[in-house]
Structure 1
Amino acid sequence: MLLSFSTATSRLHRRPTLDPASSRQPSTIAVRQLNSRDLQWLPALADLLIDGVHHGASLGFLAPLSRYAALDHWHGVFARLGAHQSLWIACETTEAGDEGPLQGAVQLSLCPRVNAHHRGEVQRLMVHSGARGRGIASQLMHRVEYAAAEQGRSLLVLETPAGSQAEAVYAHLGWQRAGEIPDYDACAEGRLHGSALYYKRLARLV
């Protein structure tokens, strides 16, 4: 699992968006799950991925990332959504329930093996560069943790670049560092870096 934190605002994310009247209403961040039919979010998800990679996030791609490659990635994600793979997004939402710009996303992969039905993996947590400091990463993580617990999973794992800001986020959210693998991945600029492995035990839901 890889977390994207960056520092500049993208000029994209035009669909779905708010109309001029609703954009003047107070908004909050809402987290919800997408399904394979929610293809209207593909352009915004592509923008989010490009934003992360172009600001140095290690998300499995090298910069510059083309829009074609970003869209191709998300088409593959949507094709895999189902019982063992889920996608959650965070977006602006007005009091009237209108959805605005996409601000973050995260994926949850539940292990399908019969001897590992107790665990899952958090993957590609992304927060838009213009939405830092709003607790969006925490909201997304809390939601996937609860979703995993609802499905009987008692253990989650993830991996993130060693020494990154993301490590502080996970520690704050109660994740435990299990170790580090040197030279595990290349960053967006192509340099090798280590990967930190984290896990979290989930409380059983009554």
Structure 2
Amino acid sequence: MHVAYSPSAVPARAPRALTALARDSGAQTSLRRTPVKVLKLNSRDLQWLPALADLLIDSVHQGASLGFLAPLSRYAALDYWHGVYAKLGQHHSLWIASEDEGHGPLQGAVQLSLCPQANAHHRGEVQRLMVHSHERGRGIASQLMSRVECEAISQGRHLLVLDAPADSQAEAVYQHLGWQRAGEIPDYMSCAEGRLHSSALMYKRLPGR
């Protein structure tokens, strides 16, 4: 499992007034922008590949733990997304967030993998939640996760799992969205810079049982 919500672009030690100004500016900007729409892609939606590559590169270079090390080349990013497109179908789905009824810039993405084993038809795995560094603070992660949960419920799944860097902003985001921590594995994965860190295993029970 590889899921991450990238850290904020505002440095942790930035002056409080500067941080507040950045937050207020973002809020004012979002008020002037069109609503975000969440779309489910299929294997024919190849027009999104360049933007998806940009999103992955942005997330990795901002420190997200997504299974890649920085710097991430565009070739490697496109190769990854071609692999995702090849899996899209009954058990794997890709959702994106975009403005202007899906015709605007790509702002985020998330994947849902439904376990195909006969003894695990009740669960699914959330993979690689990403929100572009210029679009954070608009509730995009929440909208993407909400849509994924609705999709899982419609497919008869009532348990979702994921992992996130332990004690990170990513874990805090998931806890805010109702996820619970099941445990922690030390030195589970490398961050984008190559340092080993612990991973929190998380789950969420959905309505339906």
User: TM-score, normalized by length of structure 1?
Assistant: 0.87
Counterpart of 1:86, as a letter, is: S
The match for 1:11 is: none
Aligned pair partner of 1:101 in 96, 105, 108? 105
- SS of structure 2 residue aligned to 1:3: coil
Counterpart check, 1:62 vs 2:69: yes
The match for 1:158 is: 162
Partners of 2:7 and 2:169 within 8 A in 1: no
Counterpart check, 1:91 vs 2:98: yes
User: What percent identity do the matched residue pairs reach?
Assistant: 74
Partners of 2:7 and 2:170 within 8 A in 1: no
Partners of 2:38 and 2:102 within 8 A in 1: no
Q: Evaluate the alpha carbon distance shift between residue 26 and residue 138 of structure 1 in structure 2; reply closer, same or farther with a 3 A threshold.
A: closer
Q: Give me the whole-angstrom Cα distance separating, in 2, the residues matched to 1:171 and 1:189.
A: 25
The match for 2:49 is: 42
Q: Give me the whole-angstrom Cα distance separating, in 1, the residues matched to 2:38 and 2:155.
A: 18
Structure 2 unaligned segments of length 5 or more: list them: 10-31
Q: Evaluate the alpha carbon distance shift between residue 98 and residue 52 of structure 1 in structure 2; reply closer, same or farther with a 3 A threshold.
A: closer
- SS of structure 1 residue aligned to 2:49: helix
Aligned pair partner of 1:117 in 111, 121, 143? 121
How do 1:1-206 and structure 2 match up within 5 A? 1-7=2-8, 26-93=33-100, 97=101, 99-204=103-208
C-alpha displacement at 1:2, in angstroms? Answer: 1.3
C-alpha displacement at 1:98, in angstroms? Answer: 5.9
Q: Give me the whole-angstrom Cα distance separating, in 1, the residues matched to 2:110 and 2:174.
A: 14
Q: Evaluate the alpha carbon distance shift between residue 4 and residue 169 of structure 1 in structure 2; reply closer, same or farther with a 3 A threshold.
A: closer
Partners of 1:4 and 1:59 within 8 A in 2: no
Structure 1 unaligned segments of length 5 or more: list them: 9-24
The count of aligned residue pairs is 187
Counterpart of 2:36, as a letter, is: I
Q: Evaluate the alpha carbon distance shift between residue 203 and residue 131 of structure 1 in structure 2; reply closer, same or farther with a 3 A threshold.
A: same
Q: Deviations over 1:68-116 (max 9, x none)?
A: 00000000000000000000000112xxx46110000000000000000
Counterpart of 1:171, as a letter, is: Q
| Larger relative strand fraction | 1
Counterpart of 1:5, as a letter, is: S
| Runs of 4 or more consecutive aligned structure 1 residues displaced over 6 Å after TM superposition | none
Q: Evaluate the alpha carbon distance shift between residue 170 and residue 83 of structure 1 in structure 2; reply closer, same or farther with a 3 A threshold.
A: same
- SS of structure 2 residue aligned to 1:129: coil
Q: Give me the whole-angstrom Cα distance separating, in 2, the residues matched to 1:179 and 1:6.
A: 22
Q: Give me the whole-angstrom Cα distance separating, in 1, the residues matched to 2:65 and 2:176.
A: 21
- SS of structure 2 residue aligned to 1:170: helix
Q: Give me the whole-angstrom Cα distance separating, in 2, the residues matched to 1:115 and 1:153.
A: 12
Q: Evaluate the alpha carbon distance shift between residue 36 and residue 184 of structure 1 in structure 2; reply closer, same or farther with a 3 A threshold.
A: same
Q: Give me the whole-angstrom Cα distance separating, in 1, the residues matched to 2:109 and 2:102.
A: 18
Q: Give me the whole-angstrom Cα distance separating, in 2, the residues matched to 1:26 and 1:89.
A: 17
